[in-house]
Structure 1
Amino acid sequence: MTQKRKATSTNLRGKSRLDELRKHLTPLQRELLNEFWQHYRKNAKWPLARTIHSQRSKQTVKECLRGLGGDIVLENQDSSPGRHYELTIIGVLLTDAGRDYFSMLTRYLEFLRKQYKEAPERLSFSDKDFRDGLGLSDEQVKILGELVRMGRLWSGGGHGPESWNVQAPDEVEDLPEKGSLDQALEGMLFRWFQASRPVSIEERQRQSPATSFFDPLKINAEVVPSDIPITVDALKRRYQVFVSSTYEDLKEERQHVLQALLETKCIPLGMELFPAASVEQWQLIRRVIEECDYYIVIVAGRYGSLSESGVGYTEMEFDYAVSMGKPVIGFYHKNPDSLPGSKLEKTDAGRERLKAFADKVKKKLCRPWNSPAELGSAVKSAVLHELEFNPRPGWIRADAVLDSDAVEKLKQKIADLEERLKKRKVPPTTTFPDGAESVVLNIAVHDYVDPELPEGKTWQDIEIEYKITWDKLLLLVKDELLQETSLSGIRKAVASHLAKHLYSERLQNFGKKYPEFKCSIALSQVDVVLKTLMARKLVTLRVVDNGFDQETFWKFTPKGLQYLAELQAVRSSG
């Protein structure tokens, strides 16, 4: 290993910002940063938030991380189940290994500075170049690749499990010609740093930017912060979706995809706007991906054109979307060998690249397709599922938001109406459904496309409507309501009971052992169910403010307990 150097980066006042941050870390903050990073290094994924909460109290963890801010650690959620905590590059450099990592990054910049002086026409470098040029071990060069990606210390490149490559960042031209690069590195790392950036997903969404670089395209949509105290009609909200794929061989398929997106309140963006594959276009594509709400990748029989670094542009787009934490939805062809020869890779090298890329995509939320129409249908279903279970800020027209004067008038009108209602004594006329009436629940099921295929081969997400009476629904969650349970806990119970019921149906239909699967239901649906039961005075609500958000807990009222006893008595006598 090369000799370790002490990081001495400074800001304009002569002090290292990293050292200042280290100085103010609490023992628990330091412990969590190290734990998150060690988990990522060992498992190649960040730890689930619920796992961290289970080891310590949720409130303690949230309060601790809130003191760090979202530009050090942030809560995130990709296409896999559950939220997780992940570190930014600053967070990684604040771990116990951070000083060694900082030294490695300064040597990375020194290498690029030297290359700029000796061979300015060269822009692309592979992991092998840094392994040989810096004398790094295989493990060190792997870590360096992660740090470069996380710190965006490149102008593009590719990052895979076994290798990586970069295009030298433009800032290399502005580096000091001689001497230490510690200060320059800190400047690059902290250029977008905001100490007040929120950690939680909800708070970040409420602070989404009010303007967009995309305005010149005249789409007649502008981003509006979600904390505006106006209820915006959800039907007027649109979502920006980046569609990534090879182009010439998938023109018909892309038309079906674009049509599906337009039918699901989305603004499709992709190759049609960027027909030329070049370094300049790549800079623009990166910016568009950064602003999109969702990212779609389609894989068929072609790998696509290569960049100077030897990585295809489609794969570069995929890697960048993943690095930005965008919700990624993948679609792969069921049988690419059935495609015409003109739509297949013709070389062994091309086929190997395609297979490796397809395997990478399949590690994300993925669905198979076999025809353009089937692909369009799959995209529509997948996007609707993401809009329901993984909502993003979206875009609305600027003229859909009321100005401040109109808001004040509405507030005054509401106050006047409330005052008038207080003076009136009108008996309530609202009626609520009784126990024998049915309610329809929208359930998302992670199920098989074809149950005859081997387990784990062709999973898909489907949405079904499940009809159940109010009495049966109450009996499903009776155990949770007998003791005070949170809204999320009740949702979990409903989903678990429905999964067991649907599973028994599968066993009957197919007459054999059927692989178990999971169901999910939107929190908003469970909230409506519980509030309906509360309106019937069967359950009661308690709101707990933990300092960061409010959590609701539910349990039976005395009337609810009596109603439950009557239900069970009827069932037992039948």
Structure 2
Amino acid sequence: MDPLGRLEELRTRINAQQREILRTIWTYLLANGRWIPIRALHIQCGGKATVQEALKPLGGSVVLEDHNSGQPVYRVTLLGVLVSTAGQTAHGLLSEYLRWIRERALTDGEMQHVTADLVSAALKLSESDARQLYELIRLGDFWAAGAGGGPSWRVGLPSDVEDLPEDPAAYIAAKALEQYDAHLPFEANKRDAYIFQKSSVESSLLTTIPVRIRDRDDQSNIAFYRLRSFINRLLVGFMTF
């Protein structure tokens, strides 16, 4: 199934209450510049039991418990925004932005950064739209080095800007879905344990692959051994992050 189809299918599996809770988390970030404290969301959305019962089926690829300066918070992923009641607007805004920077990048080889003032003038964005766009760019990692926040935000162009499609809607959906794991828990402690266990299994599978370099001239075996060692190092680094 194509990315837009997968995204729409996921939207249909999420009920109105879940979509509204996701929207509440997202709009709190836009209004306050930080993720919503866990207890604050419980108070706004019917209590702890109601919120956790609604969020648990969505999983950590959509919404998750996290910490911000030591305070427990809820935050959404880009996928979480796109399937919320704010999702259609966010998807359209991000699509318009990526289409515009692609056109600019293909005609201006010196362009390295985008500022809030520049994009707001080009796309006729309100201050709130520009704020939302900045958070979407950060959340979806649609930027390169040199990002700075605030009303006069500035972001570097993404490294793949020349390769962006003319209609980026499917590209956005694909990026939001690329790390989707339906089994990833949204609770912080369970999520950490799941990731550790999954990484351990993957590492164990890799280390049990028989590799024997019989001849120094056997370049294919040497390349495979180096690849296996590199992946193991990545997994160990991920587990200790």
TM-score range, shorter chain: 0.7 to 0.9
1:120-151: CA deviation from partner (whole Å, max 9, x where unpaired):
34222222221122121222111111110011
Offset of 1:201 from its aligned partner?
0.9
Partner SS for 1:131: helix
Please list every run of 5 or more consecutive structure 2 residues that lacks an aligned counterpart in the other structure. Answer: 204-226
- 1:52 aligns with 41
Mapped partners of 2:36, 2:190: distance in 1: 20
Q: Is 1:93 equivalent to 2:82 in the alignment?
A: yes
- 1:174 aligns with 163
C-alpha contact (below 8 Å) 1:40/1:47 kept by paired residues: yes
| Gap change, CA 1:132 and 1:222, over 3 Å in 2 | closer
Q: How does 1:361-376 map to 2 (within 5 A)?
A: none
Offset of 1:68 from its aligned partner?
0.9
- 1:71 aligns with 61
Mapped partners of 1:181, 1:38: distance in 2: 24
| Gap change, CA 1:30 and 1:185, over 3 Å in 2 | closer
1:36-65: CA deviation from partner (whole Å, max 9, x where unpaired):
223223322222223334563433322321
1:322-342: CA deviation from partner (whole Å, max 9, x where unpaired):
xxxxxxxxxxxxxxxxxxxxx
Partner SS for 1:157: strand
Mapped partners of 2:111, 2:38: distance in 1: 43
1:162-209: CA deviation from partner (whole Å, max 9, x where unpaired):
222222212222223x4x222222222322222322201112211134
Q: 1:132 aligns with which of 105, 118, 121?
A: 121
Q: How does 1:138-177 map to 2 (within 5 A)?
A: 138-176=127-165
Mapped partners of 2:151, 2:70: distance in 1: 22
Q: How does 1:84-483 map to 2 (within 5 A)?
A: 84-176=73-165, 178=166, 180-206=167-193, 207-208=195-196, 209-210=199-200, 223=236, 394=240
Q: Is 1:39 equivalent to 2:36 in the alignment?
A: no
| Gap change, CA 1:98 and 1:163, over 3 Å in 2 | same
C-alpha contact (below 8 Å) 1:145/1:159 kept by paired residues: no
Residue 197 of structure 1 aligns to which amino acid in structure 2? L
| Runs of 4+, deviation exceeding 4 Å | none
| Gap change, CA 1:93 and 1:79, over 3 Å in 2 | same
Partner SS for 2:25: helix
Q: 2:11 aligns with which of 9, 12, 22?
A: 22
| Gap change, CA 1:222 and 1:20, over 3 Å in 2 | closer
| Higher Rg of the two aligned structures | 1
C-alpha contact (below 8 Å) 1:157/1:164 kept by paired residues: no
Mapped partners of 2:158, 2:75: distance in 1: 24
Q: How does 1:484-503 map to 2 (within 5 A)?
A: none
More helix, by proportion: 2
| Gap change, CA 1:221 and 1:99, over 3 Å in 2 | closer
| Gap change, CA 1:112 and 1:84, over 3 Å in 2 | same
Offset of 1:110 from its aligned partner?
0.9
Residue 73 of structure 1 aligns to which amino acid in structure 2? V
| Gap change, CA 1:46 and 1:114, over 3 Å in 2 | same
Offset of 1:221 from its aligned partner?
11
Residue 183 of structure 1 aligns to which amino acid in structure 2? A
| Gap change, CA 1:198 and 1:164, over 3 Å in 2 | same
Offset of 1:222 from its aligned partner?
7.0
Offset of 1:74 from its aligned partner?
0.5
Offset of 1:27 from its aligned partner?
2.6
Identity of paired residues, percent? 30
More strand, by proportion: 1
Mapped partners of 1:222, 1:26: distance in 2: 36
Residue 190 of structure 2 aligns to which amino acid in structure 1? E
- RMSD of the alignment, in Å? 2.9
Mapped partners of 1:125, 1:47: distance in 2: 28
Residue 24 of structure 1 aligns to which amino acid in structure 2? R
TM-score normalised per structure 1? 0.34
C-alpha contact (below 8 Å) 2:66/2:188 kept by paired residues: yes
1:268-312: CA deviation from partner (whole Å, max 9, x where unpaired):
xxxxxxxxxxxxxxxxxxxxxxx5xxxxxxxxxxxxxxxxxxxxx
Count of aligned residue pairs for this structure pair: 210
| Gap change, CA 1:17 and 1:58, over 3 Å in 2 | same
Residue 149 of structure 1 aligns to which amino acid in structure 2? R
TM-score normalised per structure 2? 0.75
Offset of 1:75 from its aligned partner?
0.4
Highest relative contact order (Cα 8 Å, sep 6+), 1 or 2? 2
| Gap change, CA 1:27 and 1:139, over 3 Å in 2 | closer
Mapped partners of 1:42, 1:168: distance in 2: 25
